Structure 1
């Protein structure tokens, strides 16, 4: 097991990418809660590609709940939901500008194997903007049944309490999603329990990692 700590020992700086306003919290909300509880976040920058004013308000309130007192900034692309492949240039421009403005230790993004076209495009393009960063691709349960497309290699163990808090915050701040049949506590708990089995933890969030560079550290 490796500790996720910057070389200089300071708290982490994260860049979070989502195609939709709830993607980040669904994909890595447990990690965010855990790091925030530990006071391990220096700064968090978030880019959400699609949005409406109502959804933006939900997202800002949700992220404030997940991140607590950690400094963070959220920007929205305002692009149409479900249509990102038709806005390839706009997405690339958003990503490039976001990468120039941030200095993250870790980038969280959707998977390039995700069956949803918006998620997939963002996952495919993230490493064109963040070429020298650790990128972890999160997974999102959905009716497409694509969770087997990319077997995760990285697991973040979670307690049952963190998993319960994750859904409570999602449900509190995203009333627009409550009508969906998959928007249930047991949906998210089932996935995190399965990922927990894979790393011998009560629960976990899991990620795929296209490239990981290891360097020897100081022992002094």
Structure 2
């Protein structure tokens, strides 16, 4: 396993893109909690396309809890759930406006291989809106059984405590989702355990990365491969 550490002298700037109000936290809530706990989260700007006033209130409180002590910003499109492809222009405009107003290092977004049409559209469009950021496509467990389509290449290991904390915050801040039969702790812990097995960790969240540019930081003279031997 190769571990790469960004050569940044500051915390990360993130843009969080969701089709629905709980998408980001379901797909990447553990990553957010871990970055925030390590003081590695500098800013978080969220854009949620399909929303209602009730769900927006839930999302604001949830995002604040997942990103604390960082105070995230949140913008909501107010578009109808399940109908985002029919609002292509509005979705594209909102993504472009967010990209123009932010300078993220990393963008978290749904996968273009997702079976849900709202998720899939965002996964397709986000890459062209944010051309200079690392885009990580998160996965969302669902009835459609599409997890194999995402084929993750990037893993973020999680401790058992982070997995428990993620579920506790989801259930606390999204009471509107409790009637759903899939809204259970073991739905999320089970997926996290599977992804953890794939990267030799207890638990993990997994992401697909369409394009990552690798570079090597300059080394001091006489340090590293190719350096002249001493003497």
For 2:224, the equivalent position in structure 1 comes to none
Residue by residue over 1:24-76, the C-alpha shift from the partner in whole angstroms, topping out at 9 and shown as x without a partner, is 00000000000011111111110000111100000000011111111320000
- Displaced runs of 4 or more, over 6 A: none
Stretches of structure 2 that go unaligned for 5 or more consecutive residues are 221-231
Structure 2: distance between partners of 1:197 and 1:59? 30
For 2:114, the equivalent position in structure 1 comes to 114
Length-normalised TM-score, structure 1: 0.97
Matched, 1:127 2:112: no
Residue by residue over 1:99-129, the C-alpha shift from the partner in whole angstroms, topping out at 9 and shown as x without a partner, is 0001100011000000000000000000110
- Verify the 8 A CA contact 2:64 2:71 in the aligned structure 1: no
For 1:8, the equivalent position in structure 2 comes to 8
Q: Which runs of structure 2 are paired with 1:1-220 in the superposition (5 Å)?
A: 1-5=2-6, 7-220=7-220
Structure 2: distance between partners of 1:217 and 1:177? 46
State the structure with more CA Rg: 2
Structure 1: distance between partners of 2:13 and 2:185? 29
Stretches of structure 1 that go unaligned for 5 or more consecutive residues are none
- Verify the 8 A CA contact 1:42 1:71 in the aligned structure 2: no
Structure 2: distance between partners of 1:121 and 1:213? 24
Length-normalised TM-score, structure 2: 0.93
Structure 1: distance between partners of 2:60 and 2:4? 29
Aligned residues: 219
Secondary structure of the residue that 1:149 maps to in structure 2?
A: helix
Superposition RMSD in Å: 0.9
Task: Give how far 1:4 is off.
Answer: 4.2
Secondary structure of the residue that 1:140 maps to in structure 2?
A: coil
Structure 1: distance between partners of 2:5 and 2:95? 24
